[in-house]
Each structure stands twice: as C-alpha cells, then as structure tokens.
Amino acid sequence: MDYHLYIGMGQGDIHPQHREVMAALPGEWIVIDRYVEHPDTWRMDGAALGFKDQSLGAVYASHVLEHFPMRETRRVLAEWYRVLRPEGRLIINVPDLDWACLAWRHPALRTEYFRHDEKFLEIFYGGQDEPGEWHYTAFSASRLRGLLYQIGFYHVDTEQRIDAHDMGVVIATAVK
C-alpha cells in the first residue's frame, strides 16, 4: 500500500478541495500539522518529517510553504524530496504573488472575500489569528518552478487560478 502525506491541515475539517486532490491518489493518507490538535492529525513539523527516506508516494502541501521562513524554503523542499520515493509526486498550492500584487494595485481584480484592504493583506501576511498563521515568503509560478528544479524534481508543472480559498494561487506538481 502507498502512503501519502498531507501537510498542514489547518483549523477545522479537511476542505473538500483538498479531499478531491487526495482522492485522486489512491493509498492511505497521513495528515500532519504542527499546530492543530485533531483526532485524525499527527502533530509534526512539516520541515522536520519523522519518516524514512523514500517512504512516501506523494506529499501534498496546500497553503503551507509560505508559512516557513524565506531562508528555509530550500531546506523544507529538500525535506519533502527526501521522504518521497522515486517517481513520487509533490503537489503544492500557494498564494500567487503575481496575482496578489496585481490585485493590490487594481482592486477591481479582487475576489469578493478579499475585497477590503485589511482582509486582502492576509494574502501577504497570513491571518495571524492562530499560532503558525503568519506568512514569511511568497511565490510566483516561476519562482516556485525554479526552486523545485533546483531541489531535483522534474516534470514540474504550474497552474495559476483562483482556488476554493477565493484567491489567486499557484498549484505546482512535480515528480522526484
């Protein structure tokens, strides 16, 4: 049986968007979060995974990578690479810096949820309501793609779109 990892569940139940991604990859999903206590979630830091090298078929991190300090991004991606078996898949979803900058300068491009400036700034800085809810870095499609290639991933694809969080995102998929 393949084991897969979902990093950073956040508060509440797993969002249907994330369940859809997970359902597309058969196997057993292990859900971790450093800050959230939930019966089906292991308490673990996404930057220091307690798994053997090459032990997982997939790693999925949605709205997580921006929560690590900018200077730790390569180390975190290398840790995710380490636990993936050869041909394992990485799926990352992060706020789209290009969209956010454009929508900041042109408010008509904003989604309804982020219409007001104070709420919109959460895209850049995080919600800051709970421990771990701060953003330390940002990603454009080209920056994320370049980082993934530098770590050693291949078949890196990125898609830019508005996601279920009602913001522009970059979704990257890559193979080890």
Instruction: Please say if the pLDDT value at position 10 is more than 90.
Output: no
Using CA atoms, how far residue 15 sits from 62, 103, 145, in Å, is 10, 25, 25
36/9 Cα distance (integer angstroms) = 8
How many angstroms separate the CA atoms of 111 and 162, rounded?
Answer: 9
Question: How many C-beta atoms surround the C-beta of residue 86 within 10 A?
Answer: 7
pLDDT tens per residue across span 119-135: 999 999 999 998 889 99
27-74 confidence digits (pLDDT tens): 999 999 999 888 888 999 999 999 999 999 999 999 999 999 999 999
Which sequence spans correspond to the domains of the chain?
3-175
What percent of the chain is modeled with pLDDT above 70? 100
- Which H or E run contains 158? strand 154-162
In the predicted model, what is the mean pLDDT of residues 20-27? 92
- What is the mean predicted confidence (pLDDT) over 13-22? 87
- What contacts 101, CB < 8 A, 6 or more positions away? none
The tokens describing 161, both together, are 């779109």
Q: How far is it, in rounded angstroms, from Cα 85 to Cα 29?
A: 15
pTM of the shown model: 0.94
The CATH architecture of the domain made up of 3-175 is 3-Layer(aba) Sandwich (3.40)
Q: Is 173 helix (H, G, I), strand (E, B) or coil?
A: strand
